[in-house]
Structure formats: structure tokens, C-alpha cells
Homo-oligomer: A and B are copies of this chain.
């Protein structure tokens, strides 16, 4: 009844994930149907339904599989430079139609399926955010960040605006914008003025 992972055909699995990504980047979200994925992958629909809950789960796996990106942040000692680099990379990702299409797709699926949303958070989002958080912890210990700064919120202070602007198109999403967000955020968490040793 329940499928046995041991017997799973790795070749089919890869073909399915690849087909999903290709459809997404070549023909857009609306072209990503289970039937199209199955046809392009040369696979029976049942093979998809046997291993995934639906379209969203396939897309998630495709992303998690094909995008096991760099999770370690640069640490040049210059926090501002490091954060700018990360946020500029994120801007570039949003600007790339291919990468953007996958993000758009997984976001749609996320919005319509709570269970999927949890998995996206844990498998795609958290690792990225944690990498930034770790860099901030290092900076805090180096005295570059106020010791009482709520780092989780700070991380979202960095990414939230980018995501917001991408999603809602409230203005251009440029490197300058990313730099501006970094500057604002750093202004918020830089140790208070200590002139006169007060």
C-alpha cells in the first residue's frame, strides 16, 4: 500500500524533478501540470503521485535538489560588505527570470498548502536565514553589533523588504536598494554612540 522507498527508481525521480524545473523556466508556472511533467519525464502519472503529494511537493523537491547552494556566508571581517554581497546576490536571484520563476511557483504552492509551507520554510528558507544569522552572531561577538539586537528579527529586516518589493513590485529591485537596506539595518544594530565613555 504505502510505497517502499527502497524500490524507488532513481532515474525516474531525477527525470521528474528535471522536467518540472524545465517546464517552469521554459514555459512558466501555468505549464507545470502533473500531466506535462509526466509526459516530459517519460513517466506514468502514478509514479509522481506515488512519491509526491502533488505539484507543489514536486517543485519543492526540484528546488531543494537542484539548488543546494552555498550556505556559508563570506566573512571578510567587514560586516557591511558581507551583507551587501548577500543581499545583492538575492536581488540578482530575483532578477533572473529562471530563478525567479521557481521562487514564484513555490510561493504560490506555499500559499495554498500549509504542509508544504512548513517544508519550504524548513528546507529552503531556514538554512539561508540561519547562515546570515550566524554571520551576525560573529559580528556581535566582535562588538560590531549591539549585544541586545534580536538577530532573528534583524535577519528578516534584511530579507523582508527585498521579498516585499519583489512580490508586490513596489519599485525597482536593484543593488542600490539592497545596499540601502543593509545600511538602514546596520544603523539599527550598530552599538550606540559611546562618546565620552558614557
Q: Which residues of A contact B (CB under 8 A)?
A: 29-30, 104, 107-108, 110-112, 117-118, 120-121, 125-126, 129, 149-150, 152-154, 156-157, 159-165, 167-171, 177, 180-181, 184-185, 187-189, 192-193, 195-196, 198
Q: Are A111 and B107 in contact (CB under 8 A)?
A: yes
Q: How far is the CB of A91 from chain B (nearest CB, A)?
A: 13
For A185, what are the chain B residues with a Cβ–Cβ distance below 8 Å?
A: 157, 184, 188
Q: How far is the CB of A4 from chain B (nearest CB, A)?
A: 15
A125 vs B171: C-alpha distance when bound (angstroms) = 12
Q: Residue of B at shortest CB range from A194?
A: B193
Sample of 7 A–B contacts (CB below 8 Å):
A118-B169, A125-B168, A125-B170, A156-B164, A160-B163, A163-B168, A187-B189
Q: Are A184 and B125 in contact (CB under 8 A)?
A: no
For A108, what are the chain B residues with a Cβ–Cβ distance below 8 Å?
A: 108, 111-112
Q: Are A184 and B154 in contact (CB under 8 A)?
A: yes
For A153, what are the chain B residues with a Cβ–Cβ distance below 8 Å?
A: 161, 177, 180-181, 184
* Given A180-B150, A187-B187, A189-B187, A156:B129 Cβ within 8 A: no
A107 vs B112: C-alpha distance when bound (angstroms) = 10
Q: Are A121 and B163 in contact (CB under 8 A)?
A: no
Beyond known contacts A154-B184, A184-B188: 8 more, CB 8 A cutoff: A104-B112, A107-B167, A126-B170, A156-B164, A157-B185, A160-B162, A163-B168, A195-B195
Q: Are B169 and A160 in contact (CB under 8 A)?
A: no
For A189, what are the chain B residues with a Cβ–Cβ distance below 8 Å?
A: 184, 187
Q: Are B129 and A157 in contact (CB under 8 A)?
A: no
Point out the residue from B129, B188, B196 that lies within 8 Å of A188, measured CB to CB: B188
Point out the residue from B118, B149, B187, B196 that lies within 8 Å of A196, measured CB to CB: B196
Q: Are A112 and B30 in contact (CB under 8 A)?
A: yes
For A165, what are the chain B residues with a Cβ–Cβ distance below 8 Å?
A: 156, 160
Q: How far is the CB of A118 from chain B (nearest CB, A)?
A: 7
